[in-house]
Amino acid sequence: MARHTDYAFRALCKERGADVMVTEFVQSEALLRDNAKAWEMVDFAPEQRPMGVQIFGAKPASMAKAARLVCDRLRPDFLDLNFGCPAHKVIEQSAGSGLLRCTPLLFDIVKSVRDAIPDVPLTAKMRLGWDADSIVAVEVAARLEQLGVEAIAVHGRTRAQGYSGEADWEWIGRVAAAVSIPVVGNGDLRDPAAAVERLRRHGVAGLMVGRAALASPWIFGDIRAALGGLPQPPRPGPAERWTTLIRLAELTLERAAQGPGERDVRWMFAKLHPLTQGLPGCRRIRNAIQRCQSLADLRRLADSHLAELTQQDISG
C-alpha cells in the first residue's frame, strides 16, 4: 500500500506472520528515470521473500522495460501489475484501474511485460471493473490467464466505489471459478474467522490483507491460526502494541540510517499513527507521539503510559 508498506513495515509484517508480500506500486517511468525514491520503494531484504514488486503505467514499452530492469536488479519472486489503483492522478494517465475501461491497452501491457520477463512469474492485481455497469473482472481474468499471467489478486470493488461500500466477494468467487490460475481475494478482511470462511466459500487460493494490517500487523498470524483450526492468539494488549510501534520506529530509523542518516522520528508519525489504535487514551497518545523527537522519547512515552495503565489497574 502506497506510503505504508515500505521496507520497514514489510519487515514488521513478516515478523508477525505475513506469507507473501508485494511492494507498494511504483511507476514504470520513475524506475526508468532511475529515480532513487522509486527504487527505494521497491527494495526488499532477502528475509522478506517471497516478494513481488508491483509496477504501474500505461505504456506497454515502458512497462516491459521497467519490468525487465526490476527483475535484473532485484530478482523478485514475482512481478505484479497494478490494474486497481483508483487515484485520479493514476487513472488520468490511463494507468491503474483506468485500464479496466480500456482493456485492449491493458492486454497489450500484459503481452509486452510477459515477453520481456519470460523467466519470472507474472501476476496482476485488479478491481472488478470501472463501475457497476461495466464489471469486467471475469473476462479480463480469463484473458490474463491466456496471456500467461500466473496469479491474480482481485479487490472486490469497482473503481467508482473507491473504498466505499463493501467488497463483493461473490464476484471474487466468480473470477476464481472462471480461471484455473490461483485467484487471491482482497477486500475488507479484518476478522480471521470470517476471512477463512470467505476463502472456503468463494474458492479463492489465498487472502490478501491491506488496511487491517496497518493497525494490526498480527492479523497475518491470526488468519494463519484460523486456517490451521488453532485457537486465536490472545489479543495484543497495550504492552504488545507499544513494542510493535517502537519496533516499527526502530526498523524505519535503521533503514533511514542507510540513507542520509535520519535520527529524528517526527517525520514518521503517519506510519506510527495506525498502531496507536486500541491503546487506551489513544488520542492523547497520538498527540504525545507527535511531540517525540527521538526513539528515546518514544520509549519514555511508552514506559510512562504503561506505568500509568498499571497504576490504574492497581487502583481500579
Ligand X SMILES: Cc1cc2nc3c(=O)[nH]c(=O)nc-3n(C[C@H](O)[C@H](O)[C@H](O)COP(=O)(O)O)c2cc1C
So which residues are the catalytic ones?
A: 85
Q: Residue 105 and residue 124: Cα distance in Å, rounded?
A: 15
Site for ligand X in 52-91 (CB under 6 A): 54, 82, 84
**Whose Cβ is closer to ligand X: residue 108's or residue 188's?**
188
Least CB distance from residue 2 to ligand X, whole Å? 4
Question: Does 282 contact ligand X by CB under 6 A?
Answer: no
Is 274 a binder of ligand X (CB under 6 A)?
no
Of 10-39, binders to ligand X (CB under 6 A) are 24-25
Q: Which grid coordinates belong to 301?
A: 512515552
- The answer to the question of residue 186 lying near ligand X (CB under 6 A) is yes
Taking CB under 6 A as the binding criterion, the range among 12-20, 104-112, 207-215, 238-246 that sits at the site for ligand X is 207-215
- Minimum CB distance to ligand X smaller for 209 or for 268: 209
Choices 62-70, 206-214, 227-235, 271-279; region in contact with ligand X by CB under 6 A: 206-214
| Contact yes or no for 278/215 (Cβ under 8 A) | yes
- Exactly one of 125, 174, 202, 305 binds ligand X (CB under 6 A); that residue is 125
Rule CB under 6 A: choose which of 129, 187, 221, 236 binds ligand X: 187
Nearer to ligand X, 37 or 234 (CB): 37
Q: Does 273 bind ligand X (CB under 6 A)?
A: no
Span 149-168, contacts to ligand X by CB under 6 A: 155
Residue 32 Cβ vs ligand X, minimum distance, rounded to whole Å: 18
At 282, list the grid cell: 489513544
User: Angle, to 10 degrees, between the axis of helix 169-178 and the axis of helix 137-146?
Assistant: 30
- Looking from the CA of 152 toward its CB, the CA atoms found within 13 Å total 33
Q: What number of chain residues touch ligand X (CB under 6 A)?
A: 18
Per rule CB under 6 A, is residue 198 in the interface with ligand X?
no
Q: Which residues bind ligand X (CB under 6 A)?
A: 1-2, 4, 24-25, 54, 82, 84, 125, 155, 186-189, 209-212
